[in-house]
Each structure stands twice: as structure tokens, then as C-alpha cells.
Amino acid sequence: MLEELREANSYITSKIKETDSVILEMEKFAQEQNVPIVTKEVAEYLKFMVKMNKSKNILEIGTAIGYSGTIMAKAVEEYGGHLTTIEIDEERFNQAKENFAKAKVDNVTLILGDGLEEIKKLQGEFDFIFIDAAKGKYKEFFEDSYKLLSKDGIIFIDNIMFRGYLYKEYPKRFKTIVRKLNEFIDYLYENYPGFTLLPFGDGIGLLQGKK
């Protein structure tokens, strides 16, 4: 979470009263087992965006245990929306499978594999693409999934400002990833006029519409 907004984000989070037992269970599990999932306010925003966009065909790269996936799938199920989500880690893939079943969402296609390879096998267009996997590969995920974006579709990239390390002092071990994310943001601003950066959660990158 970006340092300056931490208090505001905590306040917003305190106002969100989740009642869904499966979602609450996933939040507890993620906290106890250190599984990185979207923050509550980002989850709220994702839900808002897919509903506003009336997303019919969502692609997620980075399922983890299926937390954001369940939230998006539930948000669009009333009008026949569908989620395709890709996870590279087999243990998380299995946890996600179990969680989707517990949450009774059946509008989900869960794929086990490397997003970079699996995206290339996908058919059709997606009107909402959520990128939330290995940050060092964000540009590749973006390039490949952009090819599948519908004309007015949205790409939503989480953690793009990487805990604020892009503009403040960061631990040396993050040097490469910080450089890559900075270059990626410059690349997006230079080449994609619809791109915008939002300073909440860990930083959200948004792109609407295809060139």
C-alpha cells in the first residue's frame, strides 16, 4: 500500500462490511498463510469496474487462492459474465478450485500454467483483463493479453507502484523489478493514450480501449 494513503485506505477498509463467509474465510487464510491477495479497497474497486463495464468475458492472470476471482465472477454472474483465470502454482490452483466450488461460482474457467504460455492458447476477446501475477513480467503479460482485449475493453494492473518503491528508497534486492516497473509505466504512458495510474492499493494501472 502506498505509504501516504495508508490511513485513508485503512479507513475505507474499516467501512467495508463483508458478510460472505467464503470470502471471509479466504481473507483469513490469506492473512495466516501469507498469500498475497488484493486489498479490500482494490477488491471493491474491481467489483465496481466489472459491473460498470458489464464485463462478459474477464481474464485474470494470477489466481492465487481465487479471492479476486470469486469477487469478479460473482459480480458478473447475474448477466452471464464469465471469468478465465490462470495460476502457475499447483497448490494455489487446487486451493482456488476448492474455493470456487465452496463459493458456488460456476462461471469460471481455471487454468493451471504459466500465464505467458496460456494466454497464447486462449481464443476470443476479453472485455476486462486483470493482471496480478509476477511483477517482473508485467510488460509481457500486458503485451500478450492486449492482443485479446476487445475494442472498448479495460486492462486493470494491480501493484504497479510496488509498495511505493518506484519513487522512494527501496531494498537493493528489488533493483531489477523497480527498474522494470518504472520502464513499463513510461512505456504505457508513451504508447497507450488511454493509460492512467491510480494511487491506491499498491498502485493501479488502468487502460481503456484499444488503439
Ligand X SMILES: C[S@@+](CC[C@H](N)C(=O)[O-])C[C@H]1O[C@@H](n2cnc3c(N)ncnc32)[C@H](O)[C@@H]1O
Q: How far is the CB of 64 from ligand X (least distance, A)?
A: 4
132 binds ligand X (CB under 6 A): yes
Q: What is the DSSP string of the chain?
A: --GGGHHHHHHHHHH-----HHHHHHHHHHHHHT-----HHHHHHHHHHHHHTT-SEEEEE--TTSHHHHHHHHHHHTTT-EEEEEES-HHHHHHHHHHHHHTT--SEEEEES-HHHHHHH--S-EEEEEE-S-GGGHHHHHHHHHTTEEEEEEEEE-STTGGGTTTS---GGGHHHHHHHHHHHHHHHHH-TTEEEE-STT-EEEEES--
**Rule CB under 6 A: is residue 89 a binding residue for ligand X?**
yes
| Residue choice 133, 148, 157, 181 for contact with ligand X (CB under 6 A) | 133
Binding segment (CB under 6 A) for ligand X, from list 60-68, 166-174, 179-187, 194-202: 60-68
Of 22, 23, 38, 204, which lies in the binding site for ligand X, with binding defined by CB under 6 A?
38
Phi-psi label, residue 159: left if phi above 0, alpha if psi -120 to 50, beta otherwise: left
Out of 53, 72, 103, 115, point to the residue binding ligand X (CB under 6 A): 115
Scanning 12-20, 98-106, 128-136, 183-191 for contacts with ligand X by CB under 6 A, the matching segment is: 128-136
Q: Return the residue of 8, 16, 36, 48 that touches ligand X, per CB under 6 A.
A: 36
Any binding-site annotation on 68? yes
- Minimum distance of ligand X from residue 151's CB (angstroms): 25
Considering the complex, state which of residue 64 and residue 73 has its C-beta at the smaller distance from ligand X: 64
The answer to the question of residue 68 lying near ligand X (CB under 6 A) is yes
Strand partners for 157: 131, 205
- Shortest distance (Å) from residue 81 CB to ligand X: 17
Using rule CB under 6 A, residue 62 touches ligand X: yes
Tell whether the torsion through CA atoms of 174, 179, 183 and 185 is positive or negative: positive
- Residues at the contact surface with ligand X, assessed by CB under 6 A: 36-38, 61-62, 64, 67-68, 86-89, 92, 114-116, 132-134
Q: Which residues participate in the annotated binding site for Mg(2+)?
A: 132, 158-159
